[in-house]
Structure 1
Amino acid sequence: MTDPRRKRHINAPSAPKKKEASPDSYKMSRPAEGRKEVPKPKPEPSRSEGRQQQGNRSGGQRTGRNQGGRQGGDRRGGRNQQGGRPRPAKPERPKALTGEDWARVIEHDTKEDVVTAMSEKTLGFCRLKVKSDGQLLIPSQRLYIGLDGAQRKEVVSILGMARRDRMSNMAKMDMPLVVQMFVEEHASYFVDEFYNKAGPISLKVHGFELLPDVGKKKAAQMVEARNSVGVFASVEELNTACNIDAAELLARRFVSELEDPAMAPRLTELLLPVEA
Structure 2
Amino acid sequence: MKEEYAIVLDYNPTEGVVYAVGTKFFTLLKLKPKPDAVIAPLEKVYVGPGKRDKIQYIIKRLKYDELTDFAKEQLEKAIEQIVKEREKEFVEFFNMAGPITLRLHSLELFEGIGKKTVNEIISEREREKFKSFEDIEKRIPKLKNIVKIIAKRILDELRCKDKYHLFTSRFC
Normalising by structure 1, we get a TM-score of 0.54
Which of 129, 135, 156 is equivalent to 1:237?
135
CA 1:262–1:241 in structure 2 vs 1: closer, same or farther (change >3 Å)?
closer
Paired residues of 2:91 and 2:133 also in contact (CA < 8 A): yes
Helix, strand or coil for the counterpart of 1:172?
helix
Unpaired stretches in structure 2, ≥5 consecutive residues: none
- Tell me which residue corresponds to 2:78: 178
Larger radius of gyration: 1
* 1:168 is aligned to 2:71: no
1:262 Cα shift?
A: 5.9
Helix, strand or coil for the counterpart of 2:31?
strand
Larger strand percent:
2
1:130 Cα shift?
A: 1.4
RMSD: 2.3
- Tell me which residue corresponds to 1:259: 159
Q: C-alpha deviations, 1:252-274, integer Å up to 9, x for none?
A: 1121112117612x21259xxxx
Aligned length: 167
- Cα distance in 1, alignment partners of residues 101 and 56 from structure 2: 48
- Tell me which residue corresponds to 1:137: 40
Q: C-alpha deviations, 1:45-83, integer Å up to 9, x for none?
A: xxxxxxxxxxxxxxxxxxxxxxxxxxxxxxxxxxxxxxx
Paired residues of 1:110 and 1:134 also in contact (CA < 8 A): no
Q: In the alignment, residue 44 of structure 2 is paired with which amino acid?
A: R
Q: In the alignment, residue 114 of structure 1 is paired with which amino acid?
A: V
Paired residues of 1:196 and 1:232 also in contact (CA < 8 A): yes
Q: C-alpha deviations, 1:95-136, integer Å up to 9, x for none?
A: xxx633222211112333321011233222111121344734
Unpaired stretches in structure 1, ≥5 consecutive residues: 1-97, 271-276
Identity %: 27
Normalising by structure 2, we get a TM-score of 0.83
Which of 117, 120, 124 is equivalent to 2:23?
120
CA 1:206–1:100 in structure 2 vs 1: closer, same or farther (change >3 Å)?
closer
1:209 Cα shift?
A: 0.9
Paired residues of 1:110 and 1:136 also in contact (CA < 8 A): no
* 1:246 is aligned to 2:149: no
